[in-house]
A and B are shown apart, each in its own frame.
Chain A
Amino acid sequence: MKQKRDYTRLKHITVAAGLIILTALLQTAGELFPRPFGASAFLLIPAVVCCAIVENETAALLYGLLAGLLWDCGDLRFNMHAIFLCLIGCAVSAIIRRKMRNTLAVAVVLTALVVLGYLLADWLLTGHTVAKLLNFTLLSFVYTLVFTPLYYAIYAAIAGHWRVRNLA
């Protein structure tokens, strides 16, 4: 019985981590993902937030760590994204377990806050021109947010399928 449970857990981790790896490839590998009007989709953020919503804090932290390290492969000198996504994963999971309900609306709001924070920090650090705010930051914010329901549905399905946690 325990062996079967471990095997199920392993399958669940493989699928959840696989989705993060696929997302990292879509985000980092050149022209693999469309960039309408020059906007970029920072897909790893909704992926980690939605994953964290259905996982416990430690698991969410580790998925965030994986996502962040894959993101950091774009610049091998730092681990900034790994630290950022670890914190986000753990914080989102803790909030959902203690303060909020697990719903799509909550997922969208949390993702919006995280993406907005990330993009505004990026805007402030890498040339805060009005043109960049309008042509890149705001467009990318909307473009990233569009994918949140998709990630929420996938991770909720994964969690539901393997019954990791009862969805609210």
Chain B
Amino acid sequence: MKAFLKSAAFRVLAMVVVLLALGSMLAGFMPSGATPANTVISAAFSPLQSLASTVAKKLDAFALSFRSSAVLAEENAKLAEENAKLKEDLVGYAQAKEKIDLYEAFYELKKQHEDYQPVPAAVVGRAPDGGYGVFTLNRGTAQGIKVGCPVVYGQNLVGKVSACTANSSTVITLLNPELNVGAYALNSSEALFTTTDNELAAEGLCKAPGLTANSTLAANSTICTSGVTGMFPRGLIIGTVTEIANDPVNISTYAVIAPGTIISQVRDVLVITAFDGMNE
């Protein structure tokens, strides 16, 4: 042990750990929100991640057509071939439809809110454990994305950018307890805020805590962003109330909200880089 503590490796280790810890602390003061080491590494790694993500999608399509062919080959080789081709087309169609849905939502969003400046981006990385509702996008400051930009899928709020480099960004989603969003109920205009906790996040849900005794919030109420803090534009859909529950810690009640989009399955999103009232 003493020999190790006196070795050059230990000195290097101590230096590296101190530098990394300092970098993590510095990230809080950087405009990009990213640590210096991650900024450098992600510049090289994010193109590789994009490539890997594309390969994964292709493999997905291949696996589907392979499975279908194997089953149908037992019945008729010719039919199997035709069927496999149709399956391949279907996968292509599904992927194209996904894109069209996104662009349609993008068009609708742009039509309704001319002040929005959206940038399309693809999800290229997720933490293996779901990462506390954190994922990585393949677009960054080079495309005008800044820390704090809202991330949406159609009219649904997904989260906000928490750190970015030239060509990648980290997004914290509605399933991250760090993200609090000013909100209101569409049917009653009741002012709320949404957040989540570990248990609800694990189920893909968030909540609006601290409901008052005269709250009219009920199941199926739609919750939207209020836009009061200037962090998010007004009127984006956060989700729908699924139940009103009693808080086990205190005497208040809270609304459980199912986000408008299934965040763990989102592949393409829009990052709104500018809107009227941003940061006001």
Q: How many residues of A contact B (CB 8 A)?
A: 46
Instruction: Give Cα distance in the complex from A73 to B52, angstroms.
Output: 14
Do A61 and B38 touch (CB < 8 A)? no
* A43: nearest chain-B partner, CB-CB: B128
Within 8 A of A (CB), among B262-278: 267
The complex places the Cα of A41 from the Cα of B16 at a distance, in Å, of 27
- With A25-B49, A79-B21, A136-B129 as given contacts, are A69 and B12 in contact (CB-CB < 8 Å)? no
Interface size on B, residues (CB 8 A): 61
Least CB distance from B64 to A in Å reads 12
Q: Which residues of B contact A25 (CB under 8 A)?
A: 48-49, 52
Extra inter-chain contacts (13) besides given A31-B56, A32-B59, A73-B136, CB under 8 Å: A25-B48, A25-B52, A26-B52, A29-B52, A57-B7, A61-B9, A72-B37, A73-B46, A77-B170, A79-B20, A90-B13, A127-B201, A128-B198
Interface stretch of the complex, out of A9-17, A81-89, A103-111, A157-165: A81-89
Expressed in whole angstroms, the Cα–Cα distance for A79 and B13 within the complex equals: 14
Inter-chain CA distance A26–B52, complex, in Å, is: 8
Report if A74-B60 is in contact (Cβ < 8 Å); known contacts: A30-B124, A32-B52, A69-B38.
no
Q: Least Cβ distance of B238 to chain A in Å?
A: 21
Complex interface: chain A residues within 8 A of B267 (CB): 30
Ranked nearest first, the 5 interchain pairs of A and B with the lowest CB-CB distance are: A127-B198, A57-B9, A40-B128, A29-B52, A76-B34
Contacts of A24 in B (CB 8 A): 45
Residues of A within 8 A of B8 (CB): 58
Asked if A58 and B12 make an inter-chain contact with CB atoms under 8 angstroms apart, the answer reads yes
Contact with B along A115-153 (1 / 0, CB 8 A): 000000010001111011000100010000000000000
Known: A30-B124, A31-B56. A77 touches B162 (CB 8 A): yes
- Nearest A-chain residue to B60, judged by Cβ: A31
Q: Are A74 and B131 in contact (CB under 8 A)?
A: yes
**Are B198 and A73 in contact, CB atoms less than 8 angstroms apart?**
no
| A to B contact number (C-beta, < 8 Å) | 162
| Contact, CB under 8 Å: A40 / B129 | yes
Considering only residues 32-52 of chain B, those with a C-beta below 8 Å from chain A are 32-35, 37-39, 41-42, 45-46, 48-49, 52
Do most interface residues of chain A lie in helix, strand or loop, or is the interface mixed? helix
Instruction: Find out whether the CB atom of A80 lies under 8 angstroms from the CB atom of B24.
Output: yes
Q: What residues make up the interface of A, taking CB atoms closer than 8 Å to B?
A: 21, 24-32, 40-42, 56-58, 61, 65, 69-70, 72-80, 82-83, 86-87, 90, 93-94, 98, 122, 126-129, 131-132, 136, 140
Minimum CB–CB distance for B44 against chain A, Å: 9
Beta-carbon contact of A78 and B129 below 8 Å: no
A58 and B60 alpha carbons, distance in the complex (Å): 40
Contact assessment for B24 and A79 in the assembled complex, using a CB-CB cutoff below 8 Å: yes
